[in-house]
Amino acid sequence: MKTIAFFNNKGGVGKTSLVYHLAHMFANRGLPVFAVDLDPQANLSSMFLDDSKMASLWQADDRRTVYEAIEPLLEGTGDVRTPNVELISPLLGLVVGDLSLSRAEDDLSSQWSDCLDGKPRAFRVISAFWRVIERAAAAVGAEVVLMDVGPNLGAINRAALIAATHVVIPLAPDLFSLQGLKNLGPTVRKWRTDWKRRLEVAPPGNLSLPAGDITPLGYVVLQHGVRESRPVQAYQYWIKQIPRTYRESVLNESNLESLPAPPEDPYCLAMLKHYRSLMPMAMEVHKPMFELKPADGAIGAHLAAVRDCYEDFRLLATRIAAGIGIELP
């Protein structure tokens, strides 16, 4: 099972939209996949599902969300459950997000340190997301799981990230994103080494624990912050800094000589355009932008944009699949 987290502690860079579109693209190409919404804001879930569907999945007496799957563990009444995987299409599923997930933050924070004492419950709690995802993957027969997380460096995200075999970093070419990358890289590296230290003192038993490799696959530059009015030089200035900042902060490399700028940088997985009105159109009908039809309002020049968008995501999916060692059908 490959679990890919799309992570940046900066919000609004397009993480959720990226997970949504890639999940559709993988399924579209014949790969069984599901997405897990680990952002307590549940934006990904509302991209997939309309309000009435969300309301039915959030019903108090019949909750079918990621929180419901970990609730017995948090409440001390049992262990994780197999989560509901909401089927969007035959090859595409969603583990639905939940605003209540923020209630797990405290427990995930305190149990992290308790792992160092080798406490069994601490390992159960910290590995909860991993084990929930593993059960879901077995239930629906998916090899690839995409994780969307909220924009912060908190305990929920730490537990989500150690459950990630890989990480992709969506970035915008601006000061805030670059600055975010400088925090994010060392934090992810620290989470990895801290988890490996905990694994050494894990109690013996058959609890499935993640390896916590969090292998970086690269970054995706989301150019949606780029407005026609903005000087091209300013944009180029930030773009050119990404390869070095990525290597220094995420890969911990130093003594870097001249590096190719995106898109030539091998760690640049894609430079995604701002697809403008395609996005609101897509959200309206709960479809990916690249599947919009004239009946959805995609007429004239929009149709050409739909085709470009398909090609952009097709290439990105191919690169990510190659990065995790999976051949797309």
**Positions in the binding site for Mg ion (CB under 5 A):** 15-16, 43
User: Could you tell which of ligand ADP, Mg ion, none binds residue 186, using a CB distance below 5 to 8 A set by kind?
Assistant: none
Closer residue to ligand ADP in complex, CB, 43/249? 43
Instruction: Please give the Cα distance from 235 to 238 (Å, whole number).
Output: 6
* Residue owning tokens 């599902």: 49
Cα dist from 315 to 88, 228, 248, 272, 311, whole Å? 23, 25, 26, 11, 6
Closer residue to Mg ion in complex, CB, 56/152? 152
User: CB–CB of 202/40 below 8 Å?
Assistant: no
12 binds ligand ADP (CB under 6 A): yes
* Range 212-241, binding ligand ADP (CB under 6 A): 222, 224
Which one among 182, 190, 196, 274 touches ligand ADP, defined by CB under 6 A? 274
Task: Name the DSSP class of 230.
Answer: S
Which one among 1, 11, 211, 244 touches ligand ADP, defined by CB under 6 A? 11
Residue 68: CB atoms within 10 Å: 19
User: CB–CB of 184/169 below 8 Å?
Assistant: yes
Which one among 9, 28, 43, 65 touches ligand ADP, defined by CB under 6 A? 43
4, amino acid identity? I
User: CB–CB of 270/315 below 8 Å?
Assistant: yes
Task: Name the DSSP class of 83.
Answer: P
16 binds ligand ADP (CB under 6 A): yes
Instruction: Please give the Cα distance from 44 to 39 (Å, whole number).
Output: 8
| Nearest-approach distance from CB 77 to ligand ADP, in angstroms | 33
290 binds ligand ADP (CB under 6 A): no
DSSP E strands, 182-298: 215-222, 268-272
> Could you give the string, one character per residue 134-153, with x where binding to ligand ADP holds by CB under 6 A and - elsewhere?
-----------------x--
15 binds ligand ADP (CB under 6 A): yes
272 binds ligand ADP (CB under 6 A): yes
Return the range that interacts with ligand ADP (CB under 6 A); candidates 6-14, 51-59, 126-134, 159-167.
6-14
> Would you state the structure tokens that stand for residue 307, as one six-digit string?
């085709």
User: Could you tell which of Mg ion, ligand ADP, none binds residue 12, using a CB distance below 5 to 8 A set by kind?
Assistant: ligand ADP
Which residue, 216, 193, 191, 178, is CA-closest to 7? 216
- Residue ranges binding ligand ADP (CB under 6 A): 11-17, 43, 151, 222, 224, 272, 274-275, 279
